[in-house]
Amino acid sequence: MGGEDARAREFGERSLKFRRARSLPGARALSSLAELALEEGDLEGAERLFERAADDYNRVGHESNYAGAIAGLGEVARRQGNVSRAVERFSQALHVTVRLGDQASIGQCLQDLARVASERGRLERAGKLWGAGQNLQDAWGARTIMKRYRLMPELPKEAVAAGAAMALEEALEYALSDVD
């Protein structure tokens, strides 16, 4: 673990301890610690932390952050090779972000589903989902901060362009019509 990761973990653990001592939800610290565990390849730890974060976010009604924690659980499932569980979690997060109208987060959910499609060899579908997701994020000025959204294998350029040209409703219908 690098120096920056170690410092982030230390701050996350201190924040969690502080919040728990005051009976405050520690979901944000849990999510940060889960992302670190995910980056380090500790899938069991990431899963446990994302589950706790999702429970906390759900309890206090932070739907957007709840969707992020659910997407994190989808990423854990994807990395564990549990495709059906990954798609279920990513779709669940997508439904929440759609209800909230959070188009940048919708874009991230579409890209999560694109990654699953790509890994299953469905490159045309992956390209369209990736393009639609990137278009939504670009339109809202969203900045990609998590590595998993920056790294994607080569996709057919025509499919990416076709996805980027989709209207929001069309992209959502496409994403949910044929889940992997």
Give residue-wise pLDDT tens across range 127-172.
Answer: 999 999 999 988 877 665 555 555 566 899 999 999 999 999 999 9
Whether the CB-CB separation of 89 and 70 falls below 8 Å is answered with yes
Is the pLDDT confidence value at 84 over 70? yes
- Total domains present in the chain: 2
Least confident among 10-19, 69-78, 82-91: 10-19
What is the span of the domain harbouring residue 1? 1-61
Q: Looking at 12-26, 28-42, 60-74, which range is the least confident one?
A: 12-26
* 38/93 same-domain check: no
Non-local CB neighbours of 174 within 8 Å, separated by 6+ positions: 128, 129, 132, 163, 166
Radius of gyration of the chain (CA): 16
Based on the domain organization, do 21 and 109 belong to the same domain? Answer: no
Question: Whole-angstrom Cα distance, residue 71 to residue 87?
Answer: 10
Same domain, 17 and 85: no
- Which pLDDT belongs to residue 96? 97
Q: Is 168 a domain residue? A: yes
pLDDT at 93: 97
Find tokens 């999560």 and name the residue: 112
Please check the confidence at residue 80 and state whether its pLDDT lies above 70.
yes
Same domain, 50 and 85: no
Q: What is the pLDDT of residue 29?
A: 81
Number of H helices, E strands in the chain: 10, 0
Say yes or no: 113 and 26 in one domain: no
Same domain? For 91 and 177 the reply is yes
Lowest average pLDDT, out of 28-37, 90-99, 118-127, goes to: 28-37
